[in-house]
Structure formats: C-alpha cells, structure tokens
Amino acid sequence: MIARMAKVEIVGPKGLLQNVLSLLQELGIFQIEPASVGFIEKDEEQEVRSFLLDEKTLAERLFIEDLVLRIDELFSYLPKVLVRTSYIEPIAIIDTIAKTLERHVTACRELHEKKEALEKENGELGRYAVFLGALASLLESTGETPDLDFIGFTIREPDMVGRIRQLLSQITDWRYELVTENAEDGTLVGLITIEKSIAERVKKSLSDEHIPELSFPPSFSGLTFPEKITYVKKRSSLLSAEIEAIGKEMERFSRRWVPIYQRMKDWAVERLSLLRTTASVFETRMCFFIYGWMPADAVRNLRRRLLDAFQGKAALVEKEIREEDLDRVPIVLKNPPYFKPFELLVKLLPLPKYSSFDPTPFIGIFFPIFFGMILGDAGYGVILLAFSVFMVKRFTRRKEIHDASKIMLISSLYAIVFGVLYGEYFGELGARFFGLEPLFLERRTAVMPMIYLALSVGLVHTTLGLFLGFLSALRKKTTKEAVYKLLAMLTILLIVVLIASFFKVVPELLTQPVVIAILVLTPFLFFAGGILAPLELLKSIGNIISYVRIMAIGLTSVLLALVANSLGGMTGDIVVGVVAGTLLHFINLILGVFSPTIHSLRLHYVEFFSKFLEHGGKRFEPLRK
C-alpha cells in the first residue's frame, strides 16, 4: 500500500538550523521540499525568503568541497586494495589532514605519472620484443655493417609478401634479402637487408604502399640485432621490477592512509549534504523554516525528538494536504512481509501517484495464481520450490535476487497446488506411477472448460481493475470518469449475461431485459466517456479474451511434458530414454518458468493496471547519512 504522508513545517531560531538538520539527517525520515508552494500563504510571502549562508558557513562549505575533490584525486592515483575501517573523529584532525593531504596528493601524483611512463615504455619495448623475437632464430649471427641497412615491418596479410618482393626487385635490381617470421600475436614480421644508398627509396615506396616500417628508438643505435634482443629483455625486466616496486609502495600507502581519508571523506560528504540542504530552507529575520514530507506515522516521534533535543525551541507543525499538493507528495510503498518481495515487479514501472493505488498487493495475489494455473505441474513445482529455497538462503544480502527467489518460492507452491488439481506430475507420470487423478480438470482433454475458466479469471481481474479505477476517480473527485468506470463494469457484466443466455447457462427470459438494459446504458456511456467510450469498452472486452493465453500456454507445457515421456519410452534403451526424457523435461521447466512469468506480468501491466493505475509519483528521498 502507499503509506500515508504528512505535510510538515519545522520552525526554530536561525542558530539551531544546522543542529536541526543534523537530527533530521540522523533519523532519515524527512524529505525537504525545495519549493515553498503550498506551504507559505500569500500574506506571508513578503516575510519569508530563501535562507542565505553567512560568510563563515559559506567558507566552510567551500573548504569541505575542496577537501573532497582533493581526496578523490588522491584515490584516483591509488590501487584498489582491501583496507580496514577507521573510526577516527574527523573534526579533531581536519586541519592536520588538510595540510598532509596536499603533500600526499603531490607525492602520489608523481608516483602515478612515473608508473604510467614506465608502463608506456615497457609496452613499446614489448612491441619491439615481438618483432625481434620472431627474427632471432634467423639473425643470431647477423651484425650491422657500414654498407648495409635493415628495414623492419609488420603486416597482417601474408599475401602482401609477394607484393613487397616485387617492389624490392624493381628498386634494388634484385640486390636485397627479405626474411619473414610469424610473431606470437599472429602478425607477420619481416626484415629487409639492402644497401644504404637505396634505403631511403625503399622506405618511401613501402610508405606509399601503406606498409608500416618498424623504427627503433635512439637507445637501440649501434647495437646488432642479437644485442638489441638482449637489451630489450634486460630493459623490460628492469622496468617491470621498477613498476612492481612502485605498485607495492602505493599499496603500503593505501593500507595506511586510505582508511583515514575515507573516514574523512564520508564525514565531509555528510557535512556537505547538510550545508547544501540549507539552499532549500527558508527564513525570516529571526527564524528558519523547513518544509517537507514524511510518513504520517513518524510525525509523533519526530516531534518528541525535537522537543527533547531543543527544549521546545524548534517546533513541528503538520499542515493540511490540499488537492493541489497531491502531485508533489512523495511515494513510500509499505507492504506486509508476504507482499514485500513483489515490490521488485512493481519497480519495473514508474511509481504510482499518491492519489492512486499501490499495485503491489494485487500483483502479489494474482501473479502466483496465474503462474500456477499456467505451469500447473506438481513435479516441476517441487523442483522450483527446492531451487528457490536454496536461492533464498544463499543470497540473503542480495536484495533483488533474494526477493526474486521469494516470488519464485510462492509461485512454485501455487504450481504444486494446481498440479494436484490438474492431476499432473511431470505430465502423466504421476497418474502412471502414483495413481494421481485430477481433482478439478484434466487440461489435456478439458480444453473448453479451461477456456471458460481463463475467461472467468479475466472477467474477475478486469472488472476489479475497473472497480479500482472507479474508486480512484472518486478520490480525485472526477465524477464523469467515476461514472464511466461504473457504467463500463455494468455493461460488461450485462454482455457476459447476454452471452451466457445464448448458451443456456442462464435463463433465456433474461435476454430481452439485458438487451434493453445495454441499450439504456449506451447513451450514458457516451456522455461519461466521450465519443471513444464504445472503443474503450471493446478494448476491455478484448482484454478479457486475452486471458485465454493462460489456457493456451499451459496446454503447450502439458503437451511438451507428454512428448518428453513418450520419447523417453520410444528409444528402446532405458538409459538413453531417461536422458532424452530428462533433457526435454528440463527444457520444458525452463520454458515453464519464463513463459508464465512474462505472460502473467503482461496480464497485469497491460490488461489490469491500465484500468486504474496512474503513474508519475515521486520517490521519497529523505535526508539521511
């Protein structure tokens, strides 16, 4: 249900403002309204104005904001390591921390930049190592001579080698040597040996063909290829050791100082939250005014806490919620433990307005019923029950998974109940081995009764939605909408009676009076719902018919279970039959989880909620630590 909210004004002398805000933050039950609309009467507007920070408080805010920015910068340089929790009191050391922080930021920035530079150099060396390593076996005895030049390149298309050879032959008149080798990263590396006098022409031609030349840095000059390989290995090892040393140093720093700075940041963020909140506070020459919303059942507690803390100097006044306030009232969903998990399904939609209904109890009642009606197999239900119990116990700290598991647990119980009613336990295996007989309907043969059952459920569900829409319209005092919802319900029920009379379900004597009643109601429908009223009525009837999906999807599940059992017996081998049957039952179980879930949600979101639910509510976001 949507918790009843209170519209509240808190007033007191200006000197107590920060203390009052601290109390509200500690309790976490009060949402401050930044606007004064609906709180300040017109004759008070000239006296009450937005609260302005004094110079001391403004300086404090700027100081703390800068402190948080510098702590965040420090954290950006440090590695993520598991650290202890600090319980130090920040106010006692804030001046010392502010001085130490600047020094630590500078030192960590320098270490971070040095580490990045080393990692960049090491990465470049790795690129050269791939090239040199690929050619090491071919050039172990090769040395650099004054008359020869070496050009390295890397390509990914082996077909380019022929083109490179053709190009070199034209330029050098076949006076060249080209060796290639596959590198570890999958590229093809090559080394061209030519006379220095034509090296520049070759390099230009390779560039024109978009073949990248691998040039070595100045530190490689004067080294033979074997010496270059040795240099790369030694330099890379040295760089890795230096990077590791910097990493360990920063980890030691993190373990020592991060807990202190994290504690300081948490305090600073809370303090900033209070200081920024003052922008939503109002004042007169002597007093402050805080306007906002809170759960109505918490008003008495807050009033008592204000009295105890400030000896009557700060007072709470509860104001009347007017009709124009309804769109601004924040929403709190408050449901009993059984319905609480189903709020997970409601969160997929925008919040309802304060004047509307909380859809959680309705989806908590009907979703498991629809799920059970569709799946309707006691064997599958037992498996889902065991799995959901495991998930509930396993994920106690993951709220979304925990709630989803509870929903599955409840739904699996309904699947077991309907499985007993249908006489289904892994299809017909229950009847074959345990003598399980249907207590209500056998879905395989009772297709028409199942259709009637699904339509009856749709009629009840849709009519309930229209009735809730009628109540919602009465709340909003929109008389024409309320009349239309009421007339739509009556008309649908009359049409159902009319159809039932054709099938002799009700006496034929009712046919004429029902037709007359429908004709009499039609003009009133036009008057209350407008020219599109008949179309809306047809849409509601179509919504009812769409509940036939409960029968259709459930029948598909039954037939797939029968196929699984039949296929298992047709193989002629017990082991193969069991494996094949189990696999098909597993697939059916997976489909039996997703299909009922999706279609049950659709019946709620489209067919049911559209009749009464008004979206657009604002989430309750209280001031809290």
Tens of pLDDT, residues 326-384: 888 899 888 999 999 999 999 888 888 888 889 999 999 999 999 999 998 899 999 99
Which of 40-54, 453-467, 531-545 is predicted most confidently? 453-467
Query: How would residue 414 be classed by pLDDT, with cut points 50, 70 and 90?
Result: very high
Least confident of 41-50, 100-109, 137-146, 218-227: 137-146
Most confident of 194-203, 287-296, 530-539: 287-296
In this chain, the answer to whether the domains covering 5-51+281-331 and 145-221 adopt an identical fold is yes
Give the E-state strand segments of 284-393 in sequence order. 287-295, 315-319, 330-331
* Model confidence at 522: pLDDT above 90: no
Q: How far is CA 83 from the centre of its chain?
A: 28
Tens of pLDDT along 247-272?
999 999 999 998 989 889 888 888 88
User: 145-221: what CATH class?
Assistant: alpha beta
pLDDT of the residue at 465: 92
- 310-338 pLDDT tens trace: 888 888 988 888 888 888 889 988 899 99
* pLDDT bracket for residue 42 (50, 70, 90): low
Say which amino acid occupies 265: K
Cα pseudo-dihedral 20, 22, 274, 31, rounded to 10? -70
pLDDT tens digit string along 270-311?
888 877 777 778 878 788 888 889 999 999 999 999 998 888
In the chain, domain spans: 5-51+281-331, 145-221, 340-611
Average the pLDDT over 82-107 and give the result: 84
Of 96, 208, 213, 203, the C-alpha closest to 153 is 213
Rounded Cα–Cα distance for residues 479 and 487 (Å): 12
The pLDDT value given to residue 142: 47
Find the helix or strand (DSSP H, E) in which 179 lies: strand 177-182
Using the predicted structure, report yes or no on whether residue 592 has a pLDDT greater than 60. Answer: yes
243 or 132, higher pLDDT: 243
Report the chain's mean pLDDT, rounded to a whole number: 83
Q: Which residues pair with 13 in a beta bridge?
A: 287
Using a 10 angstrom Cβ sphere, with 0-12 exposed, 13-18 middle and 19 or more buried, the burial of residue 40 is middle
**Residues making up the chain, counted from first to last:** 625
- Decide if pLDDT at 141 tops 50: no
Q: What is the mean pLDDT of residues 29-40?
A: 76
Phi–psi pair at 52, nearest 5 degrees? -110, 130
3-state SS of 425-482?
A: CCCCHHHHHHCCCCCCCCCCCCHHHHHHHHHHHHHHHHHHHHHHHHHHHHHHCCHHHH
pLDDT in tens, 446-483: 888 888 899 999 999 999 999 999 998 888 888 888 88
Q: Is the pLDDT of residue 181 over 80?
A: no
CA atoms within 13 A on the CB side of 326: 15
Q: Phi, psi at residue 53, to the nearest 5°? A: -70, 140
Percent of the chain residues past pLDDT 70, beyond the cut = 88
- The confidence band for 386, taking pLDDT boundaries of 50, 70 and 90, is very high
**Architecture of domain 5-51+281-331 in this structure:** 2-Layer Sandwich (3.30)
Instruction: Look at residue 418 in the predicted model and tell me its pLDDT.
Output: 93
DSSP string of 337-356, one letter each residue:
TTTGGGHHHHTTSPPBPTTS
Which class for 15: exposed (0-12), middle (13-18), buried (19 or more C-beta within 10 A)?
A: exposed
- Of the listed ranges 81-85, 210-214, 385-389, the least confidently predicted one is 210-214
| 529 has pLDDT over 80 | no
Tell which wins on pLDDT, 538 or 386. Answer: 386
The answer for residues whose C-beta is within 8 angstroms of residue 38's C-beta and 6 or more apart is 7, 322, 324, 325, 328
Longest dimension (CA), the chain: 118
pLDDT at 540: 86
Q: Is 622 helix (H, G, I), strand (E, B) or coil?
A: coil
Q: Is the pLDDT of residue 226 over 70?
A: no
CB neighbour class for 330 (10 Å; exposed up to 12, middle 13-18, buried from 19): buried
Above 80 in pLDDT, residue 50?
no
Check residue 362 and give its pLDDT.
93
Reduce the DSSP state of residue 221 to 3 states and report it. Answer: coil
DSSP 8-state class, residue 607: I
Give the pLDDT band of residue 196 (cuts 50, 70, 90): confident
Among residues 565, 283, 313, 262, which one has the least CA distance to residue 429?
Answer: 565
